[in-house]
């Protein structure tokens, strides 16, 4: 194996690099290995970006709706213990999702900030290069129907949806889900949890009503490996939106 001092190319790289930077290789073989590893890393990053773009293209919108693009942990206001708990849970979910998998459900009345905190988790993960989709059950069903109309089985869309790092299913139970919708939700939760990919759920239903709607099996999968159920049991924030000092 050639030493860096004996290699013309490596010597040139060494001279070009600022003094405080030490090259992560000292032989030609190590340099090649390093280049290959960097190439593989870049390929994985591009594949991640493509995955996000493919689902966004099918849904015809960005992974997180523009309304919630600016939602963060920092601009979530805490006025009671419930909100403090919800914020701390959301932060801990986000940090777990940086390197692992955890499922969660945010349940509560309209306007209590379920989407805000789910988007804060999503925005945080997007910054770390993860792929995130927050989508209503109704939009999942429309995209599926559109793909049936195009003569596809819907399998491609479901596969793409199941491959993003975090999928948050919004407005579960807003419309009484049909049998077909329940089957689709089962499939999504099954596939994602089997491949250790996280599922988030946002709903106005309480735990019992969700269990009735989705069945015990899905709820078991949602809560396995430390999955969390967080209740948002305070009044709507919506009257504050647009007020001075409140976050829009």
> In the complex with ligand ATP, which residue's Cβ is closer, 115 or 198?
115
Is 203 one of the binding residues for Mg ion (CB under 5 A)?
no
Strand partners, 177: none
Q: State which of residues 52, 102, 103, 115 lies at the interface with ligand ATP (CB under 6 A).
A: 115
- Segment 177 to 206, residues that bind ligand ATP, using CB under 6 A: 202, 204
Residue whose tokens read 């992974």: 63
Q: x/- binding map, residues 54-83, to ligand ATP, per CB under 6 A?
A: -----------------x----xx-----x
Q: What would the DSSP string read from start to end of 131-179?
A: -EEEEEHHHHHHHHHHHHHTT--SHHHHHHHHHSSEEEEEEETSS---H
Residue whose tokens read 């805490």: 78
Is 52 one of the binding residues for ligand ATP (CB under 6 A)?
no
Q: Which does 200 bind (CB under 5 to 8 A by kind): Mg ion, ligand ATP, none?
A: none
Is 115 one of the binding residues for Mg ion (CB under 5 A)?
yes
Contact between 90 and 120 (Cβ < 8 Å): yes
Return phi, psi of residue 26, to 5°.
Answer: -130, -5
Helices 155-163 and 28-59: angle between axes, nearest 10 degrees: 130
The site for ligand ATP (CB under 6 A) is made up of 71, 76-77, 83, 110-116, 202, 204, 237-238, 241, 247
The site for Mg ion (CB under 5 A) is made up of 115
């Amino acid at each position: 194996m050639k030493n860096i001092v004996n290699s013309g190319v490596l010597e040139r790289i060494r001279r070009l690099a600022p003094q405080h930077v030490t090259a992560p290789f000292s032989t030609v073989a190590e340099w090649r290995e390093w280049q290959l590893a960097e190439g593989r890393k870049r390929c994985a990053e591009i594949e991640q970006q493509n995955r996000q773009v493919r689902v966004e293209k099918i849904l015809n919108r960005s992974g997180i709706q523009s309304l919630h693009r600016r939602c963060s942990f920092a601009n979530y206001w805490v006025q009671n213990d419930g909100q403090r708990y919800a914020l701390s849970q959301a932060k801990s979910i986000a940090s777990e999702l940086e390197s692992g998998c955890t499922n969660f459900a945010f349940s509560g009345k309209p306007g209590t900030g379920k989407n805000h905190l789910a988007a804060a988790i999503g925005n945080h993960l997007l910054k770390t290069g993860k792929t995130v989709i927050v989508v209503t059950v109704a939009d999942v069903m429309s995209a599926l129907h559109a793909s049936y109309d195009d003569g596809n089985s819907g399998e491609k869309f479901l596969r793409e949806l199941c491959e993003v790092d975090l999928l948050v299913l919004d407005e579960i139970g807003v419309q009484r889900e049909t049998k077909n919708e329940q089957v689709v939700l089962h499939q999504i939760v099954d596939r994602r949890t089997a491949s250790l990919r996280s599922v988030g759920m946002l709903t106005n239903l309480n735990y019992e009503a969700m269990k009735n709607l989705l069945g015990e099996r899905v709820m078991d999968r949602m809560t396995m490996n430390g999955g969390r159920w967080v209740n948002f049991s305070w009044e709507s924030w919506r009257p504050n939106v647009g007020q001075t000092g409140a976050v829009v």
